[in-house]
Structure 1
Amino acid sequence: MKAVQLSKYEQTPELTEVPDPRITGPLDVIVRIGGAGVCRTDLHIIEGQWAPKTGVNLPYTLGHENAGWVAEVGSAVTNVAVGDTVILHPLVTCGLCRACRDGDDVHCENSAFPGIDTDGGYAELLRTTARSVVRLDPSLRPADVAALADAGLTAYHAVAKAARRLRPGRRAVVIGAGGLGHIGIQVLKALTPAEIIVVDRSPDALKLAGELGADHTVVADGSQVEAVLDLTGGQGAEAVVDFVGEGGAIEDGVAMLRRAGDYYVIGYGGALNVPTIDIISTEINFIGNLVGSYNDLAELMVLAADGKVALHTETYPLDAFAQALADLDGGRVRGRAILIPPEA
């Protein structure tokens, strides 16, 4: 089959022929990929940022946001059948450790992460397990929802935490209305009564944010902190959901936060440098977010099927992966870039 593999860090991956994945265990599921999301994490992987964390052996296939059709199943698989349309939870988990039994499978002690530390979905086929496949409503197409497997799931995971605290009359600031942020806005609208303020540098992104339900949009032109404080009566917001996490966003976000407020960190690349006296004197909370659980993904798919969450995408054929990566790196992708394998 064709697959996009990274053979050396700081070099463009290559489209090459690799063996088809095979069923090796009773719970294995092989999926014919119908769409693979192109994520900024893929750029960081290519740059080598993840090498110390994953220890993955090169070459390997990129792609951790995947959806498609079940092509083959192991002997013990009962939850899906050949031909079913599915989205894949990004982790392959054991189901036996304490975290899995708590439903917190993102912290599985024995997990693999296709596209991060093992072969992913920039390919025609991908092997996962029965624990990772979520059957899709017939109204949903793999290419339309693939990036929800990570970008959408991460956004949902963070916003679902915030939703437990955002009661009527409270405010949430969303920093970044791009690939993750535009999903987070929709989830906030679906799950909370909060007033939503969106901050971004791009007028186009802010226009989309308004169409998706933002109550206020603020251009990040240097006056964004003052603008948010004006919108919140000088007090700041009860929640800041930061999908950027670098380039001054953290400093701005902390300044936009109300006393006893919650700062949800999703984007990364920068450093958190806040005097501890500022944290204790205002009792603000910093909450990290990786990706969500299988249950989070199943819930997100309900919102997608109900039309409450839609992914804005730009599609590329698999052999145009380099252009997709370049467009993402250059800020030219509106929403999420999706790779479509041949015959998908």
Structure 2
Amino acid sequence: MRAIQLTAPGTLELVDVPTPKPGPGEILLATAAVGACHSDLHILDAPAGVFPTPMTIGHEIAGRVAQLGPGVTGWAEGDTAAVYGIIGCGRCRACLRGLENQCRTVPVGGVGISRDGGLADHVVVPADRLLPLGGLDPVQAAPLTDAGLTPYHAISLSRDALRPGTHAVVIGVGGLGHMAVQILAVTTAVTIIAVDTSDAALRLAKRMGAHHTVQAGPAAVDQIRELTGPAPDGADVVLDFVCVDATLDTARQVVSTGGHLTMVGLGGGTLRIAATVEGPPPVPMETTAVIPFWGTRAELTEVIALGRQGLLRAEVQTFPLTEAVQAYQQLRDGKIHGRAVLVP
């Protein structure tokens, strides 16, 4: 079968490999759609030894059951399913509570991360990683498993603060950010302010339900403050899907006292938090700062339910598997609006 593999640090190749066989408790899935995520670029750019090679990448997966491994029940060949990509240890306190995204033994492990992923004609996954699609288009379902789940989880962490009459700021309207705007629009009654450098991204945010859009730059803080009010008021929730120094600086200046500042992006920026009596603190008092990771299986079932009801829909650009390397280059160059989806 065909597969897009990380064959060495910085190198993706389309290769031919044997079709894998499902072992006990596993299912062979015929891949129908795989989302291309910025996290895949971090895997590609990582130094030798951080991720296994050769490894088939791709962790946003939807497909059809092709073969059941020994002992698998509850599934039949032809069933459509989405893959919950995290694989925790299953034994630690977090995993036993259903919080596999907080696994204490395997910090970052899963399909397309520590074992072969979905950018291939077939992929083997543990049966308990699959969730039924219920008629949802696999091209729509695949991005929901991360680009939908991650912002849903991030928003869930601040659910108590997202009350009618409050403000939520979404910084970065890309693959995850445009989903966050929709999730806020359909599950809360807050005023949504979207921030991005791209006019096209801001237009997308408007289509997805943002009430206001702000061009990122020197004037952004003042424009957001005009909408949310001066300090100590401000945005009750700020979701930064970029997390470079510039966006984090904007986030800390617009979050309210007692607000929530959620750092979702992997841009490598630094947020300084300090308690001081010499001038205002860099982050307002009583502010909660959190770095969420992916989400839980229970949350993914809710995300898929929103998708089935037509309330959550990814803006997708589709590519054949043979153009995967080009798709990732477009993602790196900022030319993808919404989510790139590979369709084997």
Q: For 2:330, which of 317, 324, 327 is the aligned residue?
A: 327
Do the aligned residues in 2 keep the contact of 1:80 with 1:135 (CA within 8 Å)?
no
* Mapped partners of 1:185, 1:310: distance in 2: 11
Q: For 1:187, which of 158, 165, 183 is the aligned residue?
A: 183
* Bigger mean CA deviation after superposition, 72-81 or 31-40: 72-81
Aligned residues with identical type, % of pairs: 37
Q: Give the CA deviation at 1:272.
A: 2.3
* Mapped partners of 1:21, 1:142: distance in 2: 21
For residues 13-32 of structure 1, the aligned pairs below 5 Å read 13-25=12-24, 27-32=25-30
The match for 2:196 is 200
The match for 2:309 is 306
Structure 2 counterpart SS, 1:164:
helix
The match for 1:236 is 234
What do the CA deviations read for 1:169-217 (whole angstroms, capped 9, x no partner)?
Answer: 1111000111100000111112211111111111111111111111111
Q: For 2:298, which of 295, 298, 306 is the aligned residue?
A: 295
Shift in alpha-carbon separation, 1:78–1:165, aligned structure 2, 3 A: farther
Q: How high is the TM-score relative to the length of structure 2?
A: 0.93
* Mapped partners of 1:77, 1:158: distance in 2: 33
* Mapped partners of 1:94, 1:76: distance in 2: 20
* Mapped partners of 2:305, 2:196: distance in 1: 28
Structure 1 counterpart SS, 2:184:
helix
Structure 2 counterpart SS, 1:229:
helix
The match for 2:86 is 91
Shift in alpha-carbon separation, 1:281–1:308, aligned structure 2, 3 A: closer
* Mapped partners of 1:281, 1:329: distance in 2: 34
- Consecutive unaligned residues of structure 1, counting only runs of 5 or more, are none
- Consecutive unaligned residues of structure 2, counting only runs of 5 or more, are 276-280
Q: Give the CA deviation at 1:299.
A: 0.5
Q: Does 1:117 align with 2:118?
A: no
Structure 1 counterpart SS, 2:221:
helix
* Bigger mean CA deviation after superposition, 300-309 or 219-228: 219-228
* Mapped partners of 1:281, 1:233: distance in 2: 14
Q: How many residues align?
A: 335
The match for 1:2 is 2
Letter in 2 for 1:8: A
Do the aligned residues in 2 keep the contact of 1:99 with 1:109 (CA within 8 Å)?
yes
* Mapped partners of 2:160, 2:17: distance in 1: 46
Q: Does 1:76 align with 2:64?
A: no
Q: Give the CA deviation at 1:155.
A: 1.0
* Mapped partners of 1:281, 1:182: distance in 2: 27
Do the aligned residues in 2 keep the contact of 1:155 with 1:183 (CA within 8 Å)?
yes
Q: For 2:57, which of 53, 58, 62 is the aligned residue?
A: 62
* Bigger mean CA deviation after superposition, 187-196 or 312-321: 187-196
What do the CA deviations read for 1:255-304 (whole angstroms, capped 9, x no partner)?
Answer: 11111111011001223231412268612111111100111111100000
* Mapped partners of 1:189, 1:275: distance in 2: 30
RMSD between aligned alpha carbons?
1.6
